[in-house]
Amino acid sequence: MITIYDSLEWLNQFDRSHLNAISQELIATAKNQRAVNEIVKDIVTAALGQARMSPRDSLDYSEALLNSAVIEFNRGFKEQAEDHTYEAKRCYEEEKDLHRSAIASWMCGITELSLLQTDSSFDYWKEAIATFEQLQLRSKHVLSTHNWYTAALGKMNQDLVTLPQESFCWLNDLTPSTLSKSNYQFVETVDESIRRKQFDRAYQTITILKEISKNCPDPLEAPEILVETGLAAYRMGNWLLAMQDLKLAAIKFPPCSHKHDVVNWMLGSIQWWYKDERVSAVRNWKKSLDGFGELSNKADHGNLNGQKCWYQEKIILMQEALKGKIAEYYS
C-alpha cells in the first residue's frame, strides 16, 4: 500500500521543496518521536502560521499543510490530518498545480479511509488517478517523466482495487445487469439516501429490495440485488451485514461466472479489515484470481480479445494487491 509518507515523497518529484527554512526546522522538530503530543500540536500550529505568512512563495503553506498532516496522521490525530490534507488540496487547485493537487487528493483518500469514510476515500483516489493519467498523457514525449507516472499509476490502481467500490464497478462490465427498471430505481434511492446520510431511509429501501429478491423471475437478479445491498451496508459502516449479503450473493451466482468471481473479490476486500476474517480474505481473493484466469483463457479460446485483455489487466492489479495485503498483515 502507498503510505501517507510515500505520497508526501512524491510531492516534489519534479520540483524543489517550497518550504521556507523556518518551516523546515519546525516540521523537523515536530517529527521527533520523543516529543509529547501537546508540544507537537503547538509546533505544527507555529509551522503553519509561519508558512501562511510567507510572502515569497505561494506553495509554502500548502506544503507545510501536507507535512503537518503526515505528522498528525502518524500521531493518531486523524481529523486534523483530514482537515489539513483537504485544505492543501484546495490551495494547490487554486494554484492550478495538477501534480501536487493529485497527491493531496490521494492523501485525502488515505486519511478518509483511516476514518472509515470509504466513499470519500474512493472518490479522492479516483480523482487522483484521473489527474495522474492526464499528466502521464501530457508527458508522453518526456520518457523519464512518462515512466514515473506509469509506475505511480500502477501502484495507485493496485491500492484502488482493494476497495470494494472499485470491484463493484466490474460487476456489469462484461455481462449486462439483470436488475429490472423498478428495482434499479430502488437501488438509486438507496444510493441517494447514503450520500445524504439518510441511513434509516436507506435501510428501509434495502428491506424492500430484499423482499422483492425472494420472488425475482430471473435467477440472476436476486444475487445482483444482494450485491447492491451488501455494498450499501458497507458504505454505511455495517460491514458484518455487507459480508453476509455478499456471501449469499456468491452462493446464488453460478460458479465459474464473471459475477461470482467479482463478488468473491468484493467480499475479500471487506474481510481484510477483520483480523479473524483475513484467512477467508486470502481464500476469496485467490478464488477470484483463479476464476478470472479461467475466464481469460475462455475469452482467448473464443477469440474475444477485448475480454481477454480486460481480465489480464485486472489480474495484474489483483495479484499485486494480494501480495501487498499479505506483506502488510503477515510479514
Q: CB neighbours (10 Å) of residue 269? A: 26
Grid coordinates in use for 104?
493531496
Domain boundaries for CATH 1.25.40.10 within the chain: 4-160, 168-330
* 3-state DSSP assignment of residue 262: helix
Grid coordinates in use for 33?
518521536
State which residues of the chain have pLDDT below 70: 55
Q: What is the distance between the alpha carbons of residues 116 and 35, in angstroms, rounded to a whole number?
A: 28
Residues 6 or more apart in contact with residue 151 via CB below 8 angstroms: none
Q: What is the pLDDT of residue 306?
A: 96
Q: What is the pLDDT of residue 55?
A: 62
DSSP 120-139: HHHHHHHHHHHHHHHHHHHT
Residues 6 or more apart in contact with residue 270 via CB below 8 angstroms: 164, 234, 239, 242, 243, 246
CATH T-level topology, domain 4-160: 1.25.40
Report how many helices (DSSP H) and strands (DSSP E) the chain contains, helices first: 16, 0
CA 114 centroid distance within chain: 11
Q: What is the pLDDT of residue 166?
A: 98
Q: What is the distance between the alpha carbons of residues 152 and 132, in angstroms, rounded to a whole number?
A: 8
| Segment holding 321, helix H or strand E | helix 305-330
The torsion angles phi and psi of 301, rounded to 5 degrees, stand at -65, -25
What does each C-alpha distance from 54 to 22, 29, 64, 127 come to in angstroms? 10, 19, 11, 30
pTM of the predicted protein model: 0.95
Residue range 168-330, CATH number: 1.25.40.10
The radius of gyration of the chain from alpha carbons, rounded to an integer in Å, stands at: 22
Q: What is the pLDDT of residue 287?
A: 98
